[in-house]
């Protein structure tokens, strides 16, 4: 065999070897086939931990109970008991993982007092086969004290005028 | 020249050899009965009767999962279906229903609104949508780099550091639940709030729903109330004909829902 055959062959083998070496260092050690086999779980195992470590923002209704027991008690007597506090008051945790409980670190929660927040449920949509039709509401809410916040008259923790 | 003895011997060896792959899957995957005893398989249950289209689930999801609030993408959304008496189906989901449905007019896009008279409606309802965490996820099959995968408990996740942004998975999902994250420029999808599940909590959308229209459960726990409903009551899934085995079950779906 002549040199002009061997030389390019050595170059090709060299390139392949280089790619394999680079691949060895580049691909993470925990990259492989896991529980669901090659088709569905060929991945980097440590990424599962990334998603588990994601910061929780919404803490749930029970989180507020101890400090704001009066509000917690009053809303639980009203029809609004099904709405969790953070739906209007905003999430009690931040993207950095700071919780509302560490009050000095977290800015005051931004409460949504807008009419639009109430419209989500209380614009009357008389839809057959949907529970939306069962909620009390306005067909045209802009005719009812336009420009005013609903919460000026209706306490969201006890929404019926005159309590309860 | 082949003798009868040799013929029988090789036939037996051949048959035994063909059975090996089947045997291997059983050893590696475990039988369904074994999995049922101790496993964890997250599933979702949506009751479309209870959904009122308030969109608080979408608002909570976007904030919980750091999806830019004003970008027109969302991991979950709510669709409105209004079927009129002339048989026409009108559907919309303005801003993924982030601000709820506050007008009877159907948003047809490009600023067009369709006004529908209440007396013309034969049925109308809301359908929350999210990732189906399919048992056979096509989005995972097509990923060329192993950046998306199914965890042991059935949840399909995306590795942001490994995704090259080719978009194959977005095209492959029959339910249109995937999109590019506007900040990371990688494929993004609902994770059933994997971080909350790990902490013993429910997904943000489930907690945010005042009406109990969204529920989560473990399909491998026979005593789980969600599993009881899926096994004992009438439920359906979306696009069953695709063979993806979606794991978001619906109560009260209608043929108009795509």
Tokens of A78: 């009203």
On whether any CB of chain B is under 8 Å from the CB of A52, the answer is: yes
CB pairs under 8 A between A and B: 149
Subunit contact B204:A57, Cβ cutoff 8 A? yes
Mean predicted confidence (pLDDT) in A49-73: 94
Where does the pLDDT of residue A164 fall: very low under 50, low under 70, confident under 90, or very high at 90 and above?
Answer: very low
- pLDDT for B19 equals 74
Where does the pLDDT of residue B2 fall: very low under 50, low under 70, confident under 90, or very high at 90 and above?
Answer: confident
By the 8 A CB rule, do B16 and A88 touch?
A: no
**Set of chain B residues whose Cβ sits within 8 Å of the Cβ of A52:** 194-195, 198
- pLDDT for B237 equals 97
Subunit contact A127:B208, Cβ cutoff 8 A? no
- pLDDT for B31 equals 47
Where does the pLDDT of residue A104 fall: very low under 50, low under 70, confident under 90, or very high at 90 and above?
Answer: low
Tokens of B103: 């007008």
Answer whether residue B85 shows pLDDT above 70.
yes
Could you report the per-residue pLDDT of B105-117, keeping only the tens digit for each?
999 999 899 999 9
Does some domain include residue B75? no
Tokens of B229: 């409903």
Query: What is the C-alpha separation between B65 and A55, in angstroms, rounded?
Result: 9
Query: What is the C-alpha separation between B59 and B69, in angstroms, rounded?
Result: 8
Supply the DSSP string of B218-241, one letter for each residue.
ETT-TT-HHHHHHHHS--B-S-GG
Query: What is the C-alpha separation between B241 and B135, in angstroms, rounded?
Result: 14
Burial label for A155, CB within 10 Å (0-12, 13-18, 19+), is middle
What percent of chain A stands above pLDDT 90? Answer: 74
Supply the DSSP string of B36-89, one letter for each residue.
HHH---EEEEEETTT-----HHHHHHHHHTT--TTSS--SSEEEEEEEETTS-E
Supply the DSSP string of chain A, one letter for each residue.
--HHHHHHHHHHHHHHHHHHHHHHHHS-TTEEE-TTHHHH-EEETHHHHHHHTSPP----HHHHHTTTHHHHHHHHTSGGGGS-THHHH--SB-TT--BTTSTTTSPPP-----HHHHHHHHB----TTSGGGGS--BSSGGGSSTTS-GGGTSBTTB-STT--
Instruction: For chain A, positions 88-147, list CB contacts with chain B under 8 A.
Output: 90-91, 95, 116, 119-121, 123, 125-132, 135
Query: What is the C-alpha separation between A59 and A81, in angstroms, rounded?
Result: 16
- pLDDT for A103 equals 63
B53 contacts: CB under 8 Å, gap ≥ 6: A120, A125, A130, A132, B78, B80, B97, B100, B101, B126
Does some domain include residue B28? no
Partners of residue B82 on adjacent β-strands: B90, B124
Subunit contact B121:A127, Cβ cutoff 8 A? yes
Query: What is the C-alpha separation between A93 and B241, in angstroms, rounded?
Result: 41
Burial label for B235, CB within 10 Å (0-12, 13-18, 19+), is middle
Query: What is the C-alpha separation between B205 and B225, in angstroms, rounded?
Result: 18
- pLDDT for B59 equals 97
A162 contacts: CB under 8 Å, gap ≥ 6: none
Does some domain include residue B67? no
- pLDDT for B22 equals 60
The Cα of A133 is separated from the nearest Cα of chain B by a number of Å equal to: 8
Domains of chain A, by residue range, sit at 3-52, 61-152
Burial label for A35, CB within 10 Å (0-12, 13-18, 19+), is middle
Number of domains forming the structure of chain B: 1
Where does the pLDDT of residue A42 fall: very low under 50, low under 70, confident under 90, or very high at 90 and above?
Answer: very high
Could you report the per-residue pLDDT of B3-59, keeping only the tens digit for each?
888 888 888 888 887 776 665 554 444 445 544 556 999 999 999 999 999 999 999
Query: What is the C-alpha separation between B207 and B215, in angstroms, rounded?
Result: 9
Answer whether residue A69 shows pLDDT above 70.
yes
Tokens of B50: 């209870």
Subunit contact A116:B53, Cβ cutoff 8 A? no
Query: What is the C-alpha separation between B77 and B138, in angstroms, rounded?
Result: 21
Does some domain include residue B165? yes
Subunit contact B52:A41, Cβ cutoff 8 A? no
- pLDDT for B29 equals 43
A48 contacts: CB under 8 Å, gap ≥ 6: B151, B157
Mean predicted confidence (pLDDT) in B54-79: 97
What percent of chain B stands above pLDDT 70? Answer: 93
* Domain span holding position B172: 138-188
- pLDDT for B117 equals 93
Could you report the per-residue pLDDT of B218-258, keeping only the tens digit for each?
999 999 999 999 999 999 999 999 999 999 999 999 999 98
On whether any CB of chain B is under 8 Å from the CB of A26, the answer is: no
**Set of chain A residues whose Cβ sits within 8 Å of the Cβ of B140:** 39-40
Nearest-10 Cα torsion for B217, B222, B225, B226: 40
ipTM for this model: 0.90
**Set of chain B residues whose Cβ sits within 8 Å of the Cβ of A47:** 149, 157, 159-162
The Cα of A141 is separated from the nearest Cα of chain B by a number of Å equal to: 10
Q: Give the count of beta carbons closer than 10 Å to the beta carbon of residue B78.
A: 28
Does some domain include residue B181? yes
Could you report the per-residue pLDDT of A75-99, keeping only the tens digit for each?
999 999 999 999 999 999 989 888 8
Query: What is the C-alpha separation between A153 and A156, in angstroms, rounded?
Result: 9
Query: What is the C-alpha separation between B213 and A44, in angstroms, rounded?
Result: 35
Q: What is the CATH number of the domain that holds B175?
A: 3.30.70.20
Does some domain include residue B46? no
Could you report the per-residue pLDDT of B102-159, keeping only the tens digit for each?
999 999 999 899 999 999 999 999 999 999 999 999 999 999 999 999 999 999 999 9
Does some domain include residue B153? yes
């Amino acid at each position: 065999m002549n040199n002009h055959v061997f030389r390019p062959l050595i170059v090709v083998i060299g390139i392949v070897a280089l790619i394999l070496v680079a691949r060895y260092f580049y691909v993470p050690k925990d990259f492989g086939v896991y529980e669901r086999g090659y088709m569905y779980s060929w991945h980097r195992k440590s990424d599962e931990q990334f998603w588990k470590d994601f910061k929780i923002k919404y803490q749930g209704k029970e989180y507020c109970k101890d400090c704001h027991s009066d509000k917690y008690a009053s809303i639980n007597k009203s029809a609004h008991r099904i709405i969790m506090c953070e739906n209007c008051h905003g999430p009690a945790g931040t993207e950095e993982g700071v919780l509302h409980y560490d009050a000095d670190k977290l800015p005051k929660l931004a409460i949504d007092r807008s009419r639009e927040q109430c419209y989500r449920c209380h614009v009357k949509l008389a839809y057959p086969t949907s529970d939306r039709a069962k909620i009390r509401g306005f067909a045209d809410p802009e005719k009812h004290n336009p420009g005013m916040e609903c919460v000026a008259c209706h306490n969201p923790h006890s929404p019926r005028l005159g309590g309860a | 020249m082949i003798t009868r003895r040799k013929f029988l011997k090789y036939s037996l060896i051949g048959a035994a050899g063909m059975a090996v792959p089947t045997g291997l899957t059983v050893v590696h995957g475990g039988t369904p009965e074994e999995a049922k005893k101790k496993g964890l398989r997250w599933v979702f249950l949506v009751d479309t009767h209870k959904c009122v289209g308030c969109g608080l689930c979408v608002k909570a999801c976007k904030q919980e999962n750091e999806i830019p609030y004003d970008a027109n993408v969302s991991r979950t959304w709510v669709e409105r279906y209004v079927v009129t008496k002339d048989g026409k189906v009108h559907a919309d989901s303005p801003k993924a229903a982030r601000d709820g449905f506050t007008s009877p007019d159907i948003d047809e896009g490009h600023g067009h609104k369709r006004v529908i008279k209440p007396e013309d409606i034969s049925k109308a309802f809301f359908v929350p949508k999210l990732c189906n965490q399919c048992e056979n996820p096509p989005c995972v099959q097509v990923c060329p780099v192993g950046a998306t995968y199914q965890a042991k408990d059935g949840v399909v996740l995306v590795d942001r550091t490994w995704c090259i942004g080719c978009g194959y998975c977005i095209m492959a999902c029959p339910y249109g639940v995937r999109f590019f994250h506007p900040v990371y420029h990688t494929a993004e999808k609902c994770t059933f709030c994997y971080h909350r599940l790990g902490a013993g909590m429910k997904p943000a959308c489930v907690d945010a729903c005042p009406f109990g229209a969204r529920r989560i459960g473990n399909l491998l726990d026979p005593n789980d109330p969600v599993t009881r409903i899926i096994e004992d009551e009438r439920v359906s899934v979306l696009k069953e004909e695709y063979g993806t085995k979606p794991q978001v079950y619906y109560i009260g779906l209608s043929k108009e829902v795509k």
